[in-house]
Structure 1
Amino acid sequence: SPVSAAAAALIRGEEPTPAADTGEDSTEDVVEDTTEETADTGAVSAAASAEAAPGSTGEDSGGPGRPFRIVAVTSCPTGIAHTYMAAESLENAGREAGVEVVVETQGSAGFTRLDPAVIAAADGVILAHDVAVREKGRFAQKPTVDTGVKAAINRPGELIGEVRDKAARGEVTSASPGATPVERGGESGEGYGTKLRKWLMSGVSYMVPFVAAGGLLIALGFAIGGYEINKAPSVMDHFVWTQADSWAALLFQIGGVAFAFLVPVLAGYIAYGMADRPGLVPGFVGGSIALTINAGFLGGLAAGLISGAVVLAIQRVPIPKALRGIMPVVVIPLVSAAVVGFLMFVVIGKPIASAQSGMTDWLNGLSGANAVLLGALLGLMMCFDLGGPVNKVAYTFATAGIAVASPSDSAMKIMAAVMAAGMVPPLAMALATTVRGRLFNAAERENGKAAWVLGASFISEGAIPFAAADPLRVIPSSMVGGAVTGALSMAFGATLRAPHGGIFVVPLIGNPLLYLVAVAAGVCVTTALVIVLKGLRKTVPPAAAQGPGGGADPSSRAPGAKQAVAA
């Protein structure tokens, strides 16, 4: 009706439309005279928001009387700590800026989709992710900032400002229906190096839960039944409810089945990142072939990339309209699986298997100074970006070595060094806030309490709030401590069959006392360096230090231990 249209226009902050020559009152008079007929002001506001065109922002906030509204998505390769840290960082920065921020966390436990009405009413979108955003098309035709997940942790205020600027200029994005998840997952100008990293991280993000589940089950089997449990008969043939060895065999064999999925899942979801669902069939087939021919982890990487490339090539072939319906169900799976299988079995499989065997032999031959140097290098990588791509390369390298039924002693030493080094940064930050609390602001001291739990659980991301607030002091200090721990762990000959768990899997570690000494040494080194470097500053950080994005200190926006551990 003219009345409701006029009211909606006023709420949106638009100029009233002159009344037509029908003898009706002006817009202002109509609204005044019909105030009592309006049952609910909130309902009018909702109607006004719904009637507003997508991306319309009026005076930078969709109109006077309501704040600027942002919807956001956060996701990281493992879907554990970074995902939820970024979400809380954006929400806190939004409150400080007077902006409504609603976040969808696409973590390892899945995700709850934002209400379509909330997306429709949003004035802007922030996509902070290191893997492809699922169902990104929902956010088309909105002013959008697309960035990495760490940017949302370190500078959320800047991202909110960028969205508001884009909304003021009327910039909107559109999703290409033919784009792959990774192509939809970043700016159109991204190079293939960036896309390759996202493809690989997509595979790793789906592989990590299999690593954790399978590795811990196998480790528990060893802990209960001893290292001879890998020779136990199948529990289908022999299982005694009252015997501990039978339960140990059961755990070991379940873990072995879970581990058998690692390479196929890695390959399948690398291909998925490149070519969407059509890439899954050739990816899983290629990954399984990699296991069959003993090409291992390297074979899985190659199979995933080849599968995605083959599917993309097939999709570019002109197809008659009558055949398009059977392409994704019959033709693409058939042709791509056959091509990838041929390449893996006949062409590149044997050279990759030889390379994998050579790398294994090289690792087995490491001893003395070479082993210590490798441990130091892995420690540096684990502490360089605290859960980022470099950290994941070192972690994946270690887990690939133990992802077999009978891993070598060298592979278990590498896994031990990697986990030990990854525990150092958060534990060191927790210790530093305890012994020299005056060098840290109140938020950092509070985060230090959470860092005890995160570090003990092998969640390196617990040190991110400190690194974000003071990267030039925290990151180098963490790298030095991580290198010390990695080197000592290798020198002590500590071994680890479990791919995760922190101090909770110490009973499963070979030479556990020396292993803890290595961790303690790295923690002390990092703590001492952080205290010395921070003590050289002329001023002590105030309680409400300003972060790089203009808002509060990023450390004050880090989630607590409960959230990260629950993730």
Structure 2
Amino acid sequence: MAKFDIIAATGCPTGIAHTFMAKEALEKAAAERGLTIKVETHGQVGVENELTKSEIAGAKAVVVAADKDVQAERFAGKPMVSVGVSKALSVEAAGKLIDRALAAKGDDTVAAAADVEDEVEEKESIGHVIYKHLMNGVSHMLVFVVAGGVLTAISFLWGITSFDSTAADYNSFAAMLKIIGGIAMNLMVPVLSAYIAESIGKRPALVPGFVAGMIAIQGLPVNADTGMIDAGGAGVGFGFLGGIVGGFLAGYVILLLEKVFSKIPASLNGLKAIFLYPLCSTAIVGLVMLGISGPMAAINQGMMDFLQSLGNSGPVILGLAIGCMCAFDMGGPVNKAAYATGTFLLGTALEAGVGTETYNFGTNFMAAVSAACIVPPLITTFAVVVGKKYFSQEDHDAGIVNLILGCTHITEGAIPFMTKNIWPVMPIMMLGSSIASILTIFFNVHDPAPHGGFLVLPVVENGPLWVLAILIGAVVGGILFVAFKKYDFEKNQKAAPVAKPVEAPKAAAVEAPKAEAADFVKVENVFVAEDFASRDEALSFVSNQAVKAGIASDADAVMNAFLAREAEGTTGMMEGFAIPHAKSDAITEAAVIVVKDESGVTGWDTMDGAPVNVAIALLIPGAQAGTTHLKILSKVAEALMDEDFRATVKGSTDAAEIAKTINARLV
């Protein structure tokens, strides 16, 4: 059975993109550190790459990056860091999580003490715990909404009243689809409630959770004639909000009962599970839910009235709110709040029926939410096509893929573009999404399907206008994104010549484009026969050589940048290699300096405890910390996984051969 240094579990509410983006980032970050890792994913298709008991037992540390329940209790007693999935979407962020998880076992060379304190604070955050429970319910609910909403929408293809046997456009198949879709939609609130409860109280909480959700749908039944509680009467449901309240209530009631029944002999555990927990919890939760039905119904109606008032204020205000929320964190908590509200209103709309005011508002709101979620990935596609020269090949490829993601309502593909430059990329995305939402409302588009993007166009009322609204938002956002990237590109181009040597200006002018394109390692910056007493002496040598080569202007600032990075976590790898990297405004040109010490630099913490023979030092201008830095670092880390590369660099004493070998891997 294989053993892993790090094990991890990732999961996001929808289980579509964030889950696997975090997995990839963690795997790359582990590879950079010479560590083995196995990442278990909790996606919409279920648990994949599942961790075994022996793998959990043999791991050094655990990283949980999830906004849903991933059964973290399995890792009890292990050094662990637990954060939301959005904290692990980049290689750099994932690396810090790995360092902090390793630091939790007392290895203070891996991470700074401040990071460890942050880990404890995040792990115990009440807000994150509540959000995780809520999103566990939402993630299970969404598939019911999608299935039910799309099937109901398809039934309308035969006619708006094709499900009605008394209507002229009646179709029996359409009626069956409407029935199936309606059943799935009606399960939305009970499933939401049950899986919020399950996240808190585990399996015993499912029963009271489902019951709480059903009560949230129907409310407290009252006899219309007597005005008294009557099982045969009718009640006022309190829907989505009631499901949330009921889920948390059911979960914490189970935790309370576990304490109450803790003194019952272990031999009666079966009795507790099959009789006491379901009976007592259902009675308690049911009575409380019926008791609060009146106030909850009033709150629910108040929320509906508020949303209606936003709609009555005109498309600009409502569309701006929807667009900004959907694009703010692209699949994160704010985005999910807007999407969950849209699905709730859609469920209410489909229940009210075609032609009603409730139906028109709910399906229009859903169309605006979908438009806002589709736009950000399409903005990146437009930008990488129109402004191709301002993007790396990696970004260009990702932008092209985002065309597919955007058209199918998957917003998360735009996240890597935003994380590199949150300002002004986030406002650009929010503006583009808001324009699409505003126009969608203005064009009176109605979308009876909660997901699917352009795949559900056949059931969207005023579909061509919906596509037009989305394209306008994507083009406006794309133009602004290209303008920003052009400005950023030209600024870096102007800054680059500062680093060029003064001598032989004509030769420098000819060679500069080639060096910027590939040759980060110059022959004169490869030192093959050095002898360093310590890590700091080696880093000081590199810092001073950087100034001599015109790469940096201040050796002390570069040295401090190197040491700051080492304080976050050692850059020593395995088999005698290290990848120190400094990010500083004192560095004027991205470059790589290589130093070799055949006897080995001691005191440099490495993954296998061996001394460092080769240090491939990366020097990055501060403005390129999120772009060039990550590109070079990832390529060097990938190269170090290649045995031939390691053998060539470590065994050669020819500076030109070493420079050529490394440059070939940085192209």
Residues in 2 aligned to 1:125 and 1:319: alpha-carbon distance in whole angstroms: 30
- Does the aligned pair in 1 maintain the 2:32–2:634 contact within 8 Å? no
Q: What are the superposed Cα offsets for residues 431-454 of structure 1, whole Å, 9 maximum, x if unpaired?
A: 100100122111111101110000
Describe the shift of the 1:337–1:517 C-alpha distance in structure 2 as closer, same or farther (beyond 3 A).
Answer: same
Q: Are 1:161 and 2:103 an aligned pair?
A: no
Which position in structure 2 is the counterpart of 1:175?
none
Give how far 1:364 is off: 5.0
Which position in structure 2 is the counterpart of 1:123?
60
Which position in structure 2 is the counterpart of 1:285?
211
Pick aligned residue for 1:313 from 256, 263, 278: 256
Give how far 1:351 is off: 2.0
- Does the aligned pair in 1 maintain the 2:163–2:170 contact within 8 Å? no
Amino acid at match of 1:274: I
Give how far 1:73 is off: 1.2
Which position in structure 1 is the counterpart of 2:427?
476
Give the secondary structure class of the aligned counterpart of 2:162.
helix
Q: Are 1:326 and 2:271 an aligned pair?
A: yes
Describe the shift of the 1:298–1:329 C-alpha distance in structure 2 as closer, same or farther (beyond 3 A).
Answer: same
Describe the shift of the 1:190–1:122 C-alpha distance in structure 2 as closer, same or farther (beyond 3 A).
Answer: closer
Amino acid at match of 1:157: G
Give the secondary structure class of the aligned counterpart of 1:539.
helix
Which position in structure 2 is the counterpart of 1:532?
483
Q: Are 1:146 and 2:120 an aligned pair?
A: no
Residues in 1 aligned to 2:120 and 2:628: alpha-carbon distance in whole angstroms: 21
Residues in 2 aligned to 1:459 and 1:375: alpha-carbon distance in whole angstroms: 19
Q: What are the superposed Cα offsets for residues 365-402 of structure 1, whole Å, 9 maximum, x if unpaired?
A: 66554343112101110000000111000000000011
Give how far 1:534 is off: 2.3
Which position in structure 2 is the counterpart of 1:56?
none
Which position in structure 2 is the counterpart of 1:219?
153
Which position in structure 2 is the counterpart of 1:55?
none
Instruction: With the length of structure 2 as denominator, give the TM-score of the two structures.
Output: 0.65
Which position in structure 2 is the counterpart of 1:38?
none
Give how far 1:551 is off: 4.6
Q: Are 1:432 and 2:370 an aligned pair?
A: no
Residues in 2 aligned to 1:319 and 1:432: alpha-carbon distance in whole angstroms: 60
Which position in structure 1 is the counterpart of 2:174?
248
Give the secondary structure class of the aligned counterpart of 1:146.
strand
Give how far 1:220 is off: 1.0
Give how far 1:356 is off: 2.5
Matches within 5 A, 1:473-552: 473-537=424-488, 538-539=491-492, 547=626, 551-552=630-631
Which position in structure 2 is the counterpart of 1:103?
39
Give the secondary structure class of the aligned counterpart of 2:260.
coil
Which position in structure 1 is the counterpart of 2:242?
299
Amino acid at match of 2:132: K
Matches within 5 A, 1:407-418: 408-418=359-369
Amino acid at match of 2:97: L
Give how far 1:465 is off: 1.4
Describe the shift of the 1:351–1:554 C-alpha distance in structure 2 as closer, same or farther (beyond 3 A).
Answer: farther
Matches within 5 A, 1:373-392: 373-392=317-336
Q: What are the superposed Cα offsets for residues 465-491 of structure 1, whole Å, 9 maximum, x if unpaired?
A: 111222223211101111111111111
Pick aligned residue for 1:335 from 280, 289, 309: 280
Which position in structure 2 is the counterpart of 1:28?
none
- Does the aligned pair in 2 maintain the 1:157–1:550 contact within 8 Å? no
Amino acid at match of 1:340: V
- Does the aligned pair in 2 maintain the 1:295–1:353 contact within 8 Å? yes
Describe the shift of the 1:344–1:125 C-alpha distance in structure 2 as closer, same or farther (beyond 3 A).
Answer: closer
Which position in structure 1 is the counterpart of 2:128?
194
- Does the aligned pair in 2 maintain the 1:153–1:554 contact within 8 Å? no
Give the secondary structure class of the aligned counterpart of 1:515.
helix
Residues in 2 aligned to 1:522 and 1:104: alpha-carbon distance in whole angstroms: 37
Give how far 1:363 is off: 4.4
Amino acid at match of 2:320: A
Describe the shift of the 1:320–1:92 C-alpha distance in structure 2 as closer, same or farther (beyond 3 A).
Answer: closer
Q: What are the superposed Cα offsets for residues 123-182 of structure 1, whole Å, 9 maximum, x if unpaired?
A: 322211111222x344344332222212221222222333344456299xxxxxxxxxxx
Give how far 1:549 is off: 13
Amino acid at match of 1:97: R
Residues in 1 aligned to 2:469 and 2:273: alpha-carbon distance in whole angstroms: 53
Amino acid at match of 2:238: A
Give how far 1:310 is off: 2.2
Give the secondary structure class of the aligned counterpart of 1:125.
strand
Residues in 1 aligned to 2:329 and 2:299: alpha-carbon distance in whole angstroms: 29
Give how far 1:333 is off: 1.3
Residues in 2 aligned to 1:445 and 1:202: alpha-carbon distance in whole angstroms: 34
Describe the shift of the 1:296–1:137 C-alpha distance in structure 2 as closer, same or farther (beyond 3 A).
Answer: closer
- Does the aligned pair in 2 maintain the 1:363–1:411 contact within 8 Å? no
- Does the aligned pair in 1 maintain the 2:163–2:174 contact within 8 Å? no
Describe the shift of the 1:466–1:486 C-alpha distance in structure 2 as closer, same or farther (beyond 3 A).
Answer: same
Residues in 2 aligned to 1:426 and 1:191: alpha-carbon distance in whole angstroms: 31
Amino acid at match of 2:45: A
Amino acid at match of 1:200: L
Q: Are 1:229 and 2:167 an aligned pair?
A: no
- Does the aligned pair in 2 maintain the 1:421–1:482 contact within 8 Å? yes
Q: Are 1:441 and 2:392 an aligned pair?
A: yes
- Does the aligned pair in 2 maintain the 1:157–1:551 contact within 8 Å? no
Give the secondary structure class of the aligned counterpart of 1:408.
helix
Give the secondary structure class of the aligned counterpart of 2:314.
helix
Describe the shift of the 1:246–1:543 C-alpha distance in structure 2 as closer, same or farther (beyond 3 A).
Answer: farther
Amino acid at match of 1:438: K
Instruction: With the length of structure 1 as denominator, give the TM-score of the two structures.
Output: 0.76
Pick aligned residue for 1:419 from 370, 373, 384: 370
- Does the aligned pair in 2 maintain the 1:469–1:555 contact within 8 Å? no
Q: What are the superposed Cα offsets for residues 502-546 of structure 1, whole Å, 9 maximum, x if unpaired?
A: 111112112122211211111112112212222222126988965
Describe the shift of the 1:281–1:211 C-alpha distance in structure 2 as closer, same or farther (beyond 3 A).
Answer: same
Describe the shift of the 1:114–1:552 C-alpha distance in structure 2 as closer, same or farther (beyond 3 A).
Answer: farther
Give how far 1:455 is off: 0.4
- Does the aligned pair in 2 maintain the 1:420–1:519 contact within 8 Å? yes
Higher relative contact order (CA 8 A, sep 6+): 1
Describe the shift of the 1:553–1:310 C-alpha distance in structure 2 as closer, same or farther (beyond 3 A).
Answer: farther
Residues in 1 aligned to 2:473 and 2:447: alpha-carbon distance in whole angstroms: 18
Amino acid at match of 1:536: Y
Which position in structure 2 is the counterpart of 1:400?
344
Describe the shift of the 1:116–1:312 C-alpha distance in structure 2 as closer, same or farther (beyond 3 A).
Answer: closer
- Does the aligned pair in 2 maintain the 1:466–1:555 contact within 8 Å? no
Amino acid at match of 2:395: E
Pick aligned residue for 2:14 from 65, 78, 94: 78
Which position in structure 1 is the counterpart of 2:300?
356
Give how far 1:187 is off: 6.7
Residues in 1 aligned to 2:126 and 2:240: alpha-carbon distance in whole angstroms: 22
- Does the aligned pair in 2 maintain the 1:93–1:551 contact within 8 Å? no
Describe the shift of the 1:555–1:147 C-alpha distance in structure 2 as closer, same or farther (beyond 3 A).
Answer: farther
Matches within 5 A, 1:50-69: 69=5
Give the secondary structure class of the aligned counterpart of 2:38.
strand
Matches within 5 A, 1:460-475: 460-475=411-426
- Does the aligned pair in 2 maintain the 1:441–1:543 contact within 8 Å? no
Q: Of the two, which has the highest radius of gyration?
A: 2
Task: Please provide the CA RMSD for this pair.
Answer: 3.0
Structure 1 unaligned regions, length at least 5: 1-45, 51-67, 172-184, 234-242, 557-567
Residues in 2 aligned to 1:514 and 1:272: alpha-carbon distance in whole angstroms: 42
- Does the aligned pair in 2 maintain the 1:129–1:149 contact within 8 Å? yes
Structure 2 unaligned regions, length at least 5: 110-118, 220-236, 497-515, 519-623, 636-667
Amino acid at match of 1:72: A
Residues in 2 aligned to 1:108 and 1:204: alpha-carbon distance in whole angstroms: 12
Which position in structure 1 is the counterpart of 2:112?
none
Residues in 1 aligned to 2:426 and 2:18: alpha-carbon distance in whole angstroms: 17
Q: What are the superposed Cα offsets for residues 273-330 of structure 1, whole Å, 9 maximum, x if unpaired?
A: 2222221111100100111122111211121122223222222325542455422321
- Does the aligned pair in 2 maintain the 1:458–1:501 contact within 8 Å? yes
Residues in 2 aligned to 1:363 and 1:161: alpha-carbon distance in whole angstroms: 45
Aligned residues: 468
Residues in 2 aligned to 1:484 and 1:285: alpha-carbon distance in whole angstroms: 41
